[in-house]
Structure 1
């Protein structure tokens, strides 16, 4: 196993239970991939994902790999309200967790009569898209005839008459404009795509499954932060006698007779070569560019889904804020402060430059968790925005500019933020690249149907027998639920063989 990210840990635990001897080689000194934690002066912060959706993926993993279930090893807390939104015109709304009726009522009260019903009707159509795509995109290996997924739009868009033509929404932005018919509802919809670095103007209508997933299965927080989920996965692997070698750089995938038969590890400085470790199967949880560098042959044939077909290049800029003063009553766990100019934000992410970044959409996380703060007279807050991964994140001026933009936006969600600030620390795509190995610190999005296949991820199996791909850069794409399903798919393909038809 190359890499100790979430998908790799999920695969390792399942393979070990199936009787395989599993060794994980991780080039850094810890596990978890993007699920990292920063601790300082009694404060603790997640620097990667901070909320969990579709926890059933990890409940299934723990049920099938040991006696203790997920809730026995971490404390899951439903976040309610699921989110609070501050729109560009100053309108605010709090959306209850996993309650369609509650969301409809809240939107009607905040945005005007009819707004909630339009969103509720959209969720019904999004559910149909979810039902059509859930199995092929989450629970089954990528179909050999994946073109069926690429060309068929599963979202049942409402016919829209424009001039003399009748059209149906093909992108998320068109759903917002033609079906939701409110700039604030459109911003609410777009924020779910933007959170994964997707441009709502080009993301297919099938991306409607992203807000539906959150609505249907709820928003969950792991007490102590999501790093605790990574710890629980790691400890489950140890219980199943998975071996870990940290600080181990894999430099080559060893092949023999047209099959992957092991890995070569970096040798000591000045040595002619490294140690070769033989294996029956090699599972790589790394970025496609990194994987290509480890092999001496193409891993995909002409006509296969290729890595990086969709517009890529988005990363995360996160500010870790240590605040004096306790969290006020009624504070929301998650607040999304929407950009004043959504088009300007999308234009900049697609083509950085010009006069510099506009004010971004910002997510402010304020968990009410004593484990993250020195005492109740302080608060730990994280503020995150999607940014171009290719910017010069070693440049102090770039970091300062984004820091100021995020602080300005976060001030609308955190009363007295500037006066309460003890210190702050920036976590940029540069740190993400160091932690995950992804070039420029890019973050993968979930696989989506339609869009000509540009939003699919390469299959877990490769054209090199014995080599499999796992994690966010492989089918079914990025996000914690998808990474967990990736691990289940890889384990199934290895244990049951190429005839494996998917998780049950």
Structure 2
């Protein structure tokens, strides 16, 4: 197995339980992919994802790989509210976790009568989209006739009042404009795809499943940080006798008799294998083999394209977290169009203030007594000149400015801060330019589908965020289950029932 990201760990544990000897080669010195931790002066920070949607994926992994459930290995808690949203006009609204009635009431109270009802009606349509796409997009290997998923928009049509016709939104932006009819509701909706660097103006309407997942299954936190989830999965792998070799860079996939037969390491060592599973980005995987992995038309998204990355600002603050603070606050960009234009086509102008997520966990294990650790993140162009001190300084300044709207007296409390740029993510995960893999989405002519887990080279499989079903912690876990199923049961595997 190439790489020790979360998708690879999920596949490794399942394959080991099925009787396979599994060896994981990881070029860095640790496991977990993007789930990293930074520590300094008694402060601890998650540098990757900070919250967990759809924990059932990881609960299923622990059930299928041993008697110890997930909750016996980590302290998993539901956060409430799920998020607090701060809009450019000064409006603030906390959204209760996994409560439709609570969300409707909160939106009506803050944004005006009718806002909650429109959002609630949208969630009903989003659930229909989820029901139509969940299995083919998340629980099954990518269909050979994947164009069925690419061409048909699963988001339902909406009746037009006073007219005997319906109108079907094709993009997430159209849902906000036609159905939500409030700039703040539209910004709330669009923030769910923007978190992955996806432009809501071109994202298919089927992306409605992302806010639905958060609403239906809640948002969860692992005490000690999500790095603890990576630790628990890694320890489950060890308990199932998965072997790990750290500091071992794979430089090639060995082929024999027309199939993958092992890997070659940087020191010249060759490790033979019946199957090879790669948890790496498309550019790196192409460099590991001369074999054609996908026929023309098989790859939907351009694997050579550079997607947005994520800038993460770590804040060490003096003084305790005030009571009743939301775990997560989303501070929306003052100029959303300017943000999107800069994100998808970087120009010469300075980085504008982006939409920012501020995480303030109620977790005393993350900081010295009487202090607070805060993580501020935003999606940014991955190919900016991050080696420039001016670029780094500008990014830190705009993130601090936005975070100040979520944390009272931020600058007065600031002990120190550290900015982690996309090139740091590239060093840790190997993802080209530190790009963020988005989740797979239906429709949109297939531009938001990812390469299948099986490749055209027999015996070589793809796992993790750069393969089906795409990025995000739930999706990574699902990719591990799919790859394990394909190896154990063969090409006829159609997913768990």
Q: Please confirm whether the aligned pair reaches a TM-score higher than 0.5, indicating the same fold.
A: yes
* Paired position in structure 2 for 1:362: 356
Q: 2:376 aligns with which of 366, 372, 383?
A: 383
Aligned partners of 1:153 and 1:450 also within 8 Å = yes
Q: Which residue of 445, 466, 475 corresponds with 1:482?
A: 475
Partner residue of 2:459?
Answer: 466
Q: Does 1:220 align with 2:213?
A: no
Matched, 1:439 2:455: no
How far apart are the structure 1 equivalents of 2:113 and 2:251? 60
Question: Which residue number in structure 2 is paired with residue 496 of structure 1?
Answer: 489
Structure 1 SS opposite 2:333: coil
Please give the TM-score of this superposition, normalised by the length of structure 1. Answer: 0.97
Q: CA deviation at 1:301?
A: 1.1
TM-score, normalised relative to structure 2: 0.98
- The SS at the match of 1:320 is strand
Equivalent residue runs for 1:55-74 within 5 Å: 55-74=55-74
Q: Give 2:343's aligned residue.
A: 349
1:248 and 2:248 matched = yes
Q: Which runs of 5+ in 2 are unaligned?
A: none
Matched, 1:280 2:311: no
In structure 2, what is the Cα distance between the partners aligned to 1:26 and 1:159?
53
Alpha-carbon distance in structure 2 between the residues aligned to 1:399 and 1:30 = 26
Deviation readout 1:144-174 (Å, 9 max, x if unpaired): 0000000010001325599999742110011
* C-alpha contact 2:157 2:167 (8 A) present in aligned 1: no
Q: CA deviation at 1:302?
A: 2.0
Q: In 1, are the aligned partners of 2:26 and 2:247 still within 8 Å (CA)?
A: yes
| Aligned counterparts of 2:302 and 2:42: Cα–Cα separation in 1 | 40
2:34 is aligned to: 34
The worse-fitting range, judged by mean Cα deviation, of 16-25 and 292-301 is: 292-301
Is residue 291 of structure 2 the alignment partner of residue 297 of structure 1? yes
Shift of 1:304: 1.2
Unaligned runs of 5+ in 1: 268-273
Deviation of 1:67 (Å): 1.4
Residue aligning to 2:91:
91
Residue 147 (structure 1) aligns with: 147
Q: Which moved more, 1:290-299 or 1:303-312?
A: 303-312
Q: What is the CA–CA distance in structure 1 between the aligned matches of 2:178 and 2:15, rounded to whole Å?
A: 47
For 1:271, the equivalent position in structure 2 comes to none
The 1-side partners of 2:162 and 2:197 are apart by: 30
Aligned partner of residue 120 in structure 1, secondary structure: helix
| Aligned twin of 2:75 | 75
Which residue does the alignment assign to 1:427?
A: 420
The offset of 1:358, in angstroms, is 1.3
Alignment coverage as a number of residue pairs: 497
1:417 aligns with 2:410: yes
CA distance, structure 2, for counterparts of residue 277 and residue 3 of structure 1: 14
Q: Distance in 2 between matches of 1:205 and 1:186?
A: 13
d(CA) in 1 for partners of 2:411, 2:334: 21
| Cα distance between partner residues in 1 of 2:394 and 2:232 | 37
2:419 alignment partner, SS class: strand
Q: Secondary structure at the match of 1:425?
A: strand
Residues 397-448 of structure 1 show CA distances to partners (whole Å, capped at 9, x for unaligned) of: 1010010001011101101000000000011101100011011000100000
User: SS of the residue aligned with 1:493?
Assistant: helix
- Contact persistence 1:252–1:263 (CA under 8 A): yes
Alpha-carbon distance in structure 2 between the residues aligned to 1:48 and 1:59 = 20
Within 5 A, what are the aligned runs for 1:196-215?
Answer: 196-215=196-215
C-alpha root-mean-square deviation of aligned residues, in Å? Answer: 1.5
Aligned residues of 1:53 and 1:219 also touching (Cα < 8 A):
yes
Q: Which residue of 2 aligns with 1:270?
A: none
SS at match of 1:326: coil
Question: What is the CA deviation profile of residues 226-259 of structure 1, one whole-angstrom value per residue up to 9, with x for unaligned ones?
Answer: 0000000100000000000000010010001110
Compute the displacement of 1:141 (Å): 0.3
d(CA) in 1 for partners of 2:245 and 2:72?
Answer: 27
Could you tell me which of 300, 320, 340 is aligned with 2:334? 340
Is 1:4 aligned to 2:1, yes or no?
A: no
Does structure 2 conserve the Cα–Cα contact (< 8 Å) formed by 1:160 and 1:168?
no
Paired residue secondary structure (1:317): strand
Distance 2:126 2:164 in 1: 27
Deviation at 1:356, TM superposition (A): 1.2
Alpha-carbon distance between aligned partners in 1 of 2:434 and 2:161, rounded to the nearest angstrom = 42
Q: CA deviation at 1:305?
A: 2.7
Is the contact between residue 158 and residue 166 of structure 2 (CA under 8 Å) also seen in structure 1? no
